[in-house]
Structure 1
Amino acid sequence: MVDDRKLDVLRAIVEDYVATEEPVGSKALVERHGLGVSPATVRNDMAALEDEGYIHQPHTSAGRVPTDKGYRLFVDKLATLKPMSVAERRAIATLLDGAVDLDDVVQKSVRLLSQLTRQVAIVQYPSLSRSTVRHIELVALTPTRVMLILILSTGRVEQRLVELDEAIADTDLAELRVAVNHVSAGVQIAAAAQALGALPDDVRPEQADATRAVVGVLTEAMSDHRSDERVAVSGAANLARYGDFDTAVRPLLEALEEHVVLLKLLGESGVDALTVRIGHEGPYSELAATSVVATGYGPQELHLGSLGVVGPTRMDYPGSMAAVRAVARYVSRILDEGNQ
């Protein structure tokens, strides 16, 4: 067990190391922090923390730096969410309230998150499988070519082209538009796909072929799980601030090219539940020098996707945690308003 005084020393070491990028000595701790004890006592506490694996000495005669275990204790027991400043809250509200569609929400969110935290930000697009159908539009481009527009509860839009064997009259297309919306609007996407599959048997025989073609493309769009792997990334340039290029920055830069890797890094936190994975706690050994702060987002506790930040373990955890939570709450609110 670590007593309160040693916890205070650990907090001071983490905060100073994050701020200065330099190993922290006992003299600096006494000078910068009101610990209320002598330098000798601080040295003894640092020795005890080192014995227990919370800090280590990178080289002889140097100060100490936190270990993954030390960062974990800091996050679990010591880190409190930094309150967002009035300017930061205003920036979030102004930027996200001005978003015009889902892509705009995602792109603005990821840029804002990277600016607030000075880390690499990742935002997953809302999951297709957890959405409901808001509306399906059918637009005739030519007598035998129809554009399908699938609009989901999240504001997500999927577009597909259908090539028909025979020309379809405007009146028949209008009937088909009513029919597909009747069975799918307001229905979760898996159930909507099942209902649409039965539709060709319920229309007039002369409409069956066109209905079958349209329904086939619609159900394919609804089951396209590749689109669930879309993520937006921003802030790679922030990694230039870190000196540990080979151990932390290079592997992370390579990982940014693989969206499946990024999604696994984010995990699947519940809405409004922060997850902090530090160093070796992550799913990839080659990224053991990085940490991830992530949470889920979605309206009314419905998890539609995840967002977060990733960077070297020497990050501002309280600030990153507060920013991730704040942006996620705004995104959830926007999606909830768009669904009403």
Structure 2
Amino acid sequence: MNADERRFEVLRAIVADYVSNQEPVGSKALVERHNLGVSSATVRNDMAVLEEDGYITQPHTSAGRVPTDKGYRLFVDRISEVKPLSPAERRAIHSFLEGAVDLDDVLRRSVRLLAQLTRQVAVIQYPTLTRSTVRHLEVVQLTPARLMLVLITDAGRVDQRMVDLGDVIDEEGTAQIRALLNTAMCGRRLADASARVAELPTQVPAELRNAVLRVSTVLVETLVEHPEERLLLGGTANLTRNVADFPGSLRQVLEALEEQVVVLRLLAAVSDPGTVTVRIGNENEAEDLRSTSVVSIGYGGKGTLLGGMGVVGPTRMDYPGAMAAVHAVANYVGDILTGR
């Protein structure tokens, strides 16, 4: 083992001890607790080099050392692949999420599960409409002059809208409108479906034009991206268990997490399902979250990104465990929502 590899082993041991004990780590404890195969004098020298290079630092009140953001970053970058969860953990996730009845329930359960598995704050973004396609549009005649539209997307999202036609229409007219709309929309991305629906009133028989105009106006409003992107947060109380990790900044962290925009920006970095992204301390754009680390991932199916999810916690985090949990839950949610 060359000197660089040996120093990395020392750093890894410091990270492991500090994450589990919350106490700065001294060379004597490292030699006692870890089979590093070298003398305590060598470990002291290695720690001095790691400190000089900015990977560990000494809190002023203690003889031990703690990892810096740079130290955690090196540690995370050297985790070559996400360790799989145990079969028992995977079965537990599967059975918990399988019981979900609809999209809202899937996401609520996922957030609760992630918070429990990682003991951090979990966050999940509702599937964004822009990336969805229309699976089906049901048109139900409630009265001769009133229709209910039920739009179902491939992400399992269901939107219901009422349309007052201002005029009466028979069942045959309703069936024609249903067929026209489904031909124009099914299987298309929402933006494309919206453009086609907007053109429909000019392409239908005169007697249906008024009804189609009213229906298409309501649908276009529904299909255009909802500005209030929705998020679910779970396990916020987990942060308060680790007050010592946020000297003087816990309140700012909690307030930042309440700002949907801030959290959405955290998740905006996710690109494709399956790749875990870790942002440590100062790598976070939002100033109030510089004392935290964010482990995030996209969820969806092959080639379809539906949204992002992840956990937020102190930089003193079990990174391998958090990465494994986020990866596993995202996989299951993607499978459930894309019907695999």
Larger CA deviation: 184-193 vs 64-73: 184-193
Is the contact between residue 256 and residue 288 of structure 2 (CA under 8 Å) also seen in structure 1?
A: no
Is the contact between residue 134 and residue 154 of structure 2 (CA under 8 Å) also seen in structure 1?
A: yes
Tell me the residue number matched to 1:160.
161
Q: Quick one: structure 1 residues 2 and 173, their matched pair in 2 at CA, closer, same or farther if it must change by over 3 Å?
A: farther
Larger CA deviation: 263-272 vs 213-222: 263-272
Is the contact between residue 126 and residue 230 of structure 2 (CA under 8 Å) also seen in structure 1?
A: yes
Tell me the residue number matched to 1:331.
333
* Counterparts of residues 90-109 of structure 1 (less than 5 Å): 90-109=91-110
Secondary structure, aligned partner of 1:269: coil
Is the contact between residue 122 and residue 232 of structure 1 (CA under 8 Å) also seen in structure 2?
A: yes
Q: Quick one: structure 1 residues 80 and 34, their matched pair in 2 at CA, closer, same or farther if it must change by over 3 Å?
A: farther
Q: Quick one: structure 1 residues 11 and 191, their matched pair in 2 at CA, closer, same or farther if it must change by over 3 Å?
A: same
- Partner residue of 2:323 out of 321, 324, 327: 321
Tell me the residue number matched to 1:223.
224
Q: Quick one: structure 1 residues 246 and 43, their matched pair in 2 at CA, closer, same or farther if it must change by over 3 Å?
A: closer
Is the contact between residue 247 and residue 289 of structure 1 (CA under 8 Å) also seen in structure 2?
A: no
Secondary structure, aligned partner of 2:338: helix
Distance 1:61 1:23 in 2: 7
Tell me the residue number matched to 1:123.
124
Distance 1:4 1:249 in 2: 36
Instruction: For 1:16, give the aligned amino acid.
Output: D
- Partner residue of 2:311 out of 309, 312, 334: 309
Tell me the residue number matched to 1:238.
238
* Counterparts of residues 140-159 of structure 1 (less than 5 Å): 140-159=141-160
Larger CA deviation: 129-138 vs 249-258: 249-258
* Counterparts of residues 49-128 of structure 1 (less than 5 Å): 49-78=50-79, 81-128=82-129
Tell me the residue number matched to 2:277.
275
Deviation at 1:62, TM superposition (A): 2.6
Distance 2:158 2:261 in 1: 22
Distance 2:193 2:271 in 1: 27
Query: For each residue in 1:64-99, what CA deviation from the matched residue of structure 2 results, as whole angstroms up to 9, or x when unmatched?
Result: 111000000000124753331222101111112222
Deviation at 1:166, TM superposition (A): 1.6
List alignment gaps of at least 5 residues for structure 2. Answer: none
Tell me the residue number matched to 2:196.
195
Distance 1:66 1:54 in 2: 6
Secondary structure, aligned partner of 1:304: strand
After superposition, the CA RMSD in angstroms is 1.7
Instruction: For 1:328, give the aligned amino acid.
Output: A
Kindly, what percent of the aligned residue pairs are identical? 58
Distance 2:210 2:106 in 1: 38
Distance 1:299 1:61 in 2: 49
Secondary structure, aligned partner of 2:312: strand
Is the contact between residue 123 and residue 309 of structure 2 (CA under 8 Å) also seen in structure 1?
A: yes
Aligned length: 337
List alignment gaps of at least 5 residues for structure 1. Answer: none
Q: Quick one: structure 1 residues 80 and 65, their matched pair in 2 at CA, closer, same or farther if it must change by over 3 Å?
A: farther
Deviation at 1:330, TM superposition (A): 1.1
Deviation at 1:189, TM superposition (A): 1.2
Tell me the residue number matched to 2:46.
45
Tell me the residue number matched to 1:290.
292
Is the contact between residue 106 and residue 125 of structure 1 (CA under 8 Å) also seen in structure 2?
A: yes
Instruction: For 2:243, give the aligned amino acid.
Output: G
Tell me the residue number matched to 2:175.
174
Secondary structure, aligned partner of 2:78: helix
Distance 1:199 1:94 in 2: 45
Is the contact between residue 13 and residue 24 of structure 1 (CA under 8 Å) also seen in structure 2?
A: yes
Distance 1:150 1:48 in 2: 61
Distance 1:106 1:54 in 2: 37
Query: For each residue in 1:26-62, what CA deviation from the matched residue of structure 2 results, as whole angstroms up to 9, or x when unmatched?
Result: 1111111001111121111111111110010011443
TM-score by length of 1: 0.94
Deviation at 1:139, TM superposition (A): 2.2
Distance 2:81 2:334 in 1: 23
Query: For each residue in 1:273-311, what CA deviation from the matched residue of structure 2 results, as whole angstroms up to 9, or x when unmatched?
Result: 111000011111221100111111111121111111111
Distance 1:311 1:149 in 2: 39
Is the contact between residue 149 and residue 157 of structure 1 (CA under 8 Å) also seen in structure 2?
A: yes
Distance 1:224 1:158 in 2: 12
